[in-house]
Amino acid sequence: MRLKEIKGRVNSPKQLEALRASVLAKRDPKRPCIALCVGTGCLAYGCVDILEAFKNEIVKQKLQNSVDIRATGCPGFCERGALLTIYPQGVFYQRVKIEDVAEIVTETIVKGRVVDRLLYADPNTGERYQKETDVPFYKRQQRILLEANSKIDPTSIEDYLAIGGYSALAKVLFQMKPEQVIDEVKKSGLRGRGGGGFPTGNKWQSTREAEGDIKYVICNCDEGDPGAFMDRSLMEGNPHSVLEGMIIGAFAIGSHEGYVYIRHEYPMAVDNVMTAIKQAESRGLLGNNILGSGFHFNVKVSRGGGAFVCGESTALMASLEGKVGEPRAKYVHTSEKGLYNRPSNLNNVETWANIPHIILKGADWFSSIGTKGSKGTKIFSLVGKVNNTGLIEVPMGMKLRDIVYGIGAGIREGKKFKAVQTGGPSGGFIPESQLDLPVDFDELTRVGSMMGSGAMIVTDENTCMVDMAKYFVGFLQEESCGKCLPCREGLKRMLQILTDITDGKGREEDIELLERIAATLKDSALCALGSTAANPVLTTISHFRDEYEAHIKDHRCPAGVCKPLIKYSIIDEKCPGCGKCVEPCPTKAIKFVAKKEPVILDQELCIKCGTCYDICNLKAVSIK
């Protein structure tokens, strides 16, 4: 049945529902649809060419009137790109290459048969799974926010409407008062997802109560924590959900002007959000007189310039004012004096994305998920040395062990787990002995780490913890704004000391000196970048002191990472003399002897670049 096409603005909830009905009426749920991920991660797998290939193949097989192709956002299983799901069956294919396209169309679309080799196989048991919902990586998650990513085209507002989008907004504008909205969010127990974990409802209330007629609502999509890409995924894959959350928040707070601040390194997120804004405006869901309610709210998109510190709220606001991203003291909160010294409510992307769900399903529903202090789900980016890397959304309270071994399927290449790093450069390392900790704001802080934005980096026996501490301090030094003395000078000295240690020039007193500088940073730094900079150093000293001592006393790097302390050598018994490593060696340090004779590595010429180690299939190069 075809309903009348509704063009232009919808000016009431009734008209919104009529639009939604007309969109759904045009769709046949039984019609096959190939939903291919074109998120930034899959770009590296050539998904753009694969999409073209599908379009061509569909036309070639004369299926264009019976099969849909949808370019979706990132569903999160980045380890296995390129990814696609075929609806309505829900068949999930991974590691798809352009050569597989014709076969997928012929076998699965036309003949209804599954292509076995493209199904996900458990790396430990070998068992294969057909349906997306059965794949253990997805099944063990609770994908309230991410589920839509594999179903909708983020550049289509119709797709968002088809899954119920903007009905939360209609409910808020026509059935609730601002104070009721704030009460609901407070009751839900939602805490900020960007790292601060501050109760969202309380922040909204403070901003609402602050003095001033002009108030701002800001979305922080700066996502600077390296290893974190949750916000990228949400913003690229479902920008309307974030916008809807912001409009609801603006209504509750009494704000009519908002900003979406996106990091410069996420061009697709910028494009998709700008498209979403234009579409929402043209439909009367954003801008003046939203849905005919009389409420108006406008949003501008602003880009970052490559500065991690701009993820800090006051630095972000300075950047929005056209100034350098220097933080300022927060003794007076930004909810009172923020952007242009006016009351401003800043929330993270994931926080905003939770709002429509809380409004539609209720605070009680939300607070039934998670732990006493941490409600709802959290999206984590599980990366590093695990088998299954990607984005996962789990209820708060799930044990780290279940995440690393259950969803992550354990450590790759059969190596031994060493630690999982949470909270980005502000967080700490959690060793094996603490793996039964639940993911919970307060629990993670209790052990010296923190939840942070959600990056979870898994390390193994070949990760040097001193090198990791050096890495984080180096990162923070590069990102420090330089305003305050302890951060600028303290990080500089910590990096010099850590570099000396990894170069084999460490002194006995260096560990204590690092702890003293770290304590000063914690107490006296101006912003959270500086004050949490100590965490990676302190947690590695606390849990892996033996590694520090090996570097300082024995001039040894147990994990085999720190170049001045390791040696590359050929394992004669394993080397067949194929000579594959000879030509790529940049300093010609490897000499070919003869076939079946091991090659000879000249230590004087070796610069430990790792090329031979990477290229040898027989693992005949050892690093000690």
Comparing CB distances to other proteins, the nearer of 365 and 471 is 471
- What track of x and - describes contact with other proteins for positions 539 through 578 (by CB under 8 A)? ----------------------------------------
Contacts to other proteins from residues 167-206, by CB under 8 A: none
How large is the angle between the packed helices 230-237 and 267-282, nearest 10 degrees?
40
* Residues with Cβ within 8 Å of residue 434, at least 6 apart in sequence: 400, 447
Closest approach of Cβ 611 to other proteins, in Å? Answer: 4
Note if the bond before 584 is cis, omega within 30 degrees: no
Torsion, Cα of 609, 611, 617, 622 (10° steps): -20
Comparing CB distances to other proteins, the nearer of 44 and 593 is 44
Rounded distance, CA 568 to CA 561, Å? Answer: 11
Comparing CB distances to other proteins, the nearer of 323 and 574 is 323
Q: Which helix (DSSP H) or strand (DSSP E) does residue 470 occupy?
A: helix 465-479
Rounded distance, CA 606 to CA 590, Å? Answer: 8
Closest approach of Cβ 38 to other proteins, in Å? Answer: 12
Rounded distance, CA 169 to CA 285, Å? Answer: 9
Considering only 475, 544, 548, 568, the residue that binds other proteins (CB under 8 A) is 475
Comparing CB distances to other proteins, the nearer of 43 and 114 is 43
622 binds other proteins (CB under 8 A): no
Q: Which two tokens stand for residue 5?
A: 């096409």
Closest approach of Cβ 166 to other proteins, in Å? Answer: 27
Comparing CB distances to other proteins, the nearer of 227 and 254 is 227
Comparing CB distances to other proteins, the nearer of 158 and 350 is 350
Closest approach of Cβ 250 to other proteins, in Å? Answer: 18
Cα of first residue to Cα of last residue in the chain, in angstroms, is 71
Rounded distance, CA 115 to CA 19, Å? Answer: 38
Could you tell me where the DSSP H helices lie in 525-610? 528-531, 534-543, 545-549
Of 174-182, 279-287, 429-437, 465-473, the window that binds other proteins (rule: CB under 8 A) is 465-473
- What track of x and - describes contact with other proteins for positions 132 through 171 (by CB under 8 A)? ----------------------------------------
Considering only 455, 528, 538, 550, the residue that binds other proteins (CB under 8 A) is 455
Considering only 132, 225, 443, 547, the residue that binds other proteins (CB under 8 A) is 225
Comparing CB distances to other proteins, the nearer of 27 and 264 is 264
Q: Which two tokens stand for residue 597?
A: 């004779």
Comparing CB distances to other proteins, the nearer of 306 and 576 is 306
Rounded distance, CA 536 to CA 88, Å? Answer: 46
Of 97-105, 196-204, 246-254, 474-482, the window that binds other proteins (rule: CB under 8 A) is 474-482
Q: Is 189 exposed, middle or buried (0-12, 13-18, 19+ CB in 10 A)?
A: buried
Contacts to other proteins from residues 372-401, by CB under 8 A: 381, 383-385, 389-390
Closest approach of Cβ 501 to other proteins, in Å? Answer: 12
- What track of x and - describes contact with other proteins for positions 501 through 540 (by CB under 8 A)? ------x-x---x--xx-xx--xxxx--------------
Contacts to other proteins from residues 78-107, by CB under 8 A: 78-79, 81
* HSE-CB for 102 with a 13 A CA cutoff: 2
Comparing CB distances to other proteins, the nearer of 78 and 217 is 78
Contacts to other proteins from residues 581-610, by CB under 8 A: 584, 586, 607, 609-610
* 85 three-state secondary structure: strand
Contacts to other proteins from residues 23-82, by CB under 8 A: 40-41, 43-45, 78-79, 81
- Of 555, 623, 568, 566, nearest to 601 by C-alpha is 568
* Letter string b/e over residues 377-407, b meaning 16 or more CB atoms within 10 A of that residue's CB: bbbbbbbbbbbbbbbbbbbbbbebbbbbbbb
* HSE-CB for 69 with a 13 A CA cutoff: 21
Q: Which two tokens stand for residue 101?
A: 């396209």
Partners of 261 in beta bridges: 220, 302
- What track of x and - describes contact with other proteins for positions 294 through 333 (by CB under 8 A)? --------xxxxxxx----------xxxxxxx--xx-xx-
Q: How many residues lie near other proteins (CB under 8 A)? A: 94
Q: Which two tokens stand for residue 555?
A: 């001039």
Contacts to other proteins from residues 329-368, by CB under 8 A: 329, 331-332
Contacts to other proteins from residues 404-433, by CB under 8 A: 421, 424-425
Considering only 95, 139, 493, 555, the residue that binds other proteins (CB under 8 A) is 493
